[in-house]
Amino acid sequence: VFLDGAEPGRGARIADRILRQAEEAKIFEDNRQIKITVSIGGSLKAAAADIEDCIREADEALYLAKSSGRNRAIMAWAPQAG
């Protein structure tokens, strides 16, 4: 998801909202509820920054989110706890 012109706090809030909505989603297959999980990686692109660098940072953040557990959002610009 690309958020044109979004500042860091807004991007993180949107990611958190996506995570909450995924957790609360009621999806059924063959009359059985399926739980879904989401991993999100975010990156910021300055006007002069290369888009490929931005995509690489978001991809690295995504893999970190995946390896950190379910329903995680990792933003490349935010320091990580631990």
Phi-psi region of 10 (alpha: psi -120 to 50; beta: other; left: phi over 0): alpha
Question: Strands 39-42, 72-75: parallel, antiparallel or unpaired by DSSP?
Answer: parallel
Euclidean distance between the first and final Cα of the chain, in Å? 27
Q: Is the whole-model pTM more than 0.95?
A: no
Angstrom distance (rounded) from CA 20 to CA 7: 20
pLDDT in tens, the chain (82 residues): 777 777 888 889 999 999 999 999 999 999 999 999 999 999 888 766 788 988 999 999 999 999 998 899 999 887 665 4
Q: Which residues pair with 74 in a beta bridge?
A: 41
